[in-house]
Amino acid sequence: MTSDTKILLTGATGFIGGSVLTSLLDSSASSHPLGPITCLMRGPDRASLLSSTYGDRVNLVLYQGLDDLEATTAVAAQHDIVINTTLGYHSPSTKALLRGLAQRKASTGRDVWMIHTSGTSNVGDKPITKPGPVREFDDSADDVYAYEKEQEALEPYAQRTTELGVIDTGLQLGVKTIVIMSPIIYGNGTGLFNKVSIHTMYMKAMMQIGHAVVVGDGAGVWDHVHVQDLAELYRLVVLEILEKEGRDLPTGKKGIIFSGNGRHSWLEYSQLVADALYDEGVITQKTVAPLSLEEAGTILMPHLGFINDETTKEG
């Protein structure tokens, strides 16, 4: 792409978005230098901190939030690449971004791109409530899009609905889309604001309960990725677009890529937490107690404070 390619990032105050912003701003291994990164966000106080920290390397645009669709479209229409790291289940805002990108393409005649953040729960099974065969996907060989379509027809799931909407709307409008579908994300974020993952909340919950717990037998397996490795993946995708016009990147129905670089069972994870908390003298036993779904709802969930009004308004 040209040297004046403009990049828009949503969710710069979040766990993923803040880390992606840091990775992009620290990028030096590129023959295509990055211009200022536009951050679409709420709140003048947070914008002020970003501005004082990063200076003219960021261009800050304030809006009212995810439901401010007119402003979202207008800002996207001024950019060539959108990196969307806000809530993965807010379909109207993603379509507003895509409409803006389509306007940009019409005015410049150049390709435009949307990198959308999603999650592997979209293709997960339900071993407790709906036992069945376990599938393992290869994003380069399997038709993940078709499988998601099948599952969506059987039972809509907000995050999957949004992801499929991004792909389908992108194809309709001529916007190239890439979905980065992540599993459990762990580690300390590098952004200025939210630096902790859901896993951190899970550890804090065990501390508050007083012992380690796991739902069911803990045999469920999830992949995981460190947040800094994930941010590096976003950076590499952006550089691929800038330096090679994205020729080697899958897009559209094929453009669903996984970010995991390891895996664990929930029992393995809970036991590691138990061992660490015991060694620190926080809990008095290393035993992991199993919880039924009903018990998880009453014992575990009240301690997991990662879904609240601020989360749903993240920008």
Average pLDDT, the chain: 92
Residue 258's pLDDT is what? 97
CA dist 310 and 97 (Å) reads 21
195 vs 1, higher pLDDT: 195
Residue 300's nearest CA partner among 211, 232, 228, 185 is 211
pLDDT in tens, 243-291: 999 999 999 999 999 999 999 999 999 999 999 999 999 999 999 999 9
pLDDT at 306 over 60: no
**Cα Rg of the chain, angstroms:** 20
Give the alpha-carbon dihedral of 22, 65, 94, 193, to 10 degrees. 20
Q: Which residue has 């016009």 as its token pair?
A: 245
pLDDT in tens, 22-76: 999 987 555 667 889 999 999 899 999 999 999 999 999 999 999 999 999 999 9
Residue ranges of domains in the chain, CATH in brackets: 7-194+223-263 (3.40.50.720), 198-218+264-303 (no CATH)
> Residue 311's pLDDT band (boundaries 50, 70, 90)?
very low
Q: Are 24 and 57 in contact (CB under 8 A)?
A: no
167 vs 28, higher pLDDT: 167
CA dist 121 and 108 (Å) reads 37
pLDDT at 175 over 70: yes
Bridge partners, residue 72, by sequence: none
Share of the chain above pLDDT 70, in %: 94
∠ CA 149-153-158, nearest 5°, is 80
124 vs 199, higher pLDDT: 124
pLDDT at 307 over 50: no
pLDDT in tens, 116-133: 999 999 999 887 778 878
Q: Are 193 and 13 in contact (CB under 8 A)?
A: yes
- The stretches of 88-157 forming alpha helices (DSSP H) are 91-108, 144-154
Residue 197's pLDDT is what? 85
Q: Are 220 and 265 in contact (CB under 8 A)?
A: yes
DSSP state, residue 89: T
Residue 175, both tokens: 């916007």
Residue 30's pLDDT is what? 57
Q: Report the interhelical angle of 69-76 vs 91-108 (nearest 10°).
A: 30
Residue 190's pLDDT is what? 96
The verdict on pTM exceeding 0.95 is: no
243 vs 305, higher pLDDT: 243
pLDDT in tens, 211-236: 999 999 998 899 999 999 999 999 99
Residue type, 159: Q
- Distance of CA 65 to CAs 69, 146, 163, 315, Å? 8, 32, 19, 6
pLDDT at 140 over 80: yes
Q: Are 167 and 252 in contact (CB under 8 A)?
A: yes
E-assigned strand segments in the chain: 7-10, 37-41, 58-62, 81-84, 113-119, 176-182, 184-186, 212-215, 221-226, 256-258, 262-265, 288-291
> Residue 3's pLDDT band (boundaries 50, 70, 90)?
low
pLDDT at 168 over 90: yes
Concatenated DSSP letters for 187-252?
S---SSS----HHHHHHHHHHHHTSEEEETTS--EEEEEEHHHHHHHHHHHHHHHHHHTTTTS--G
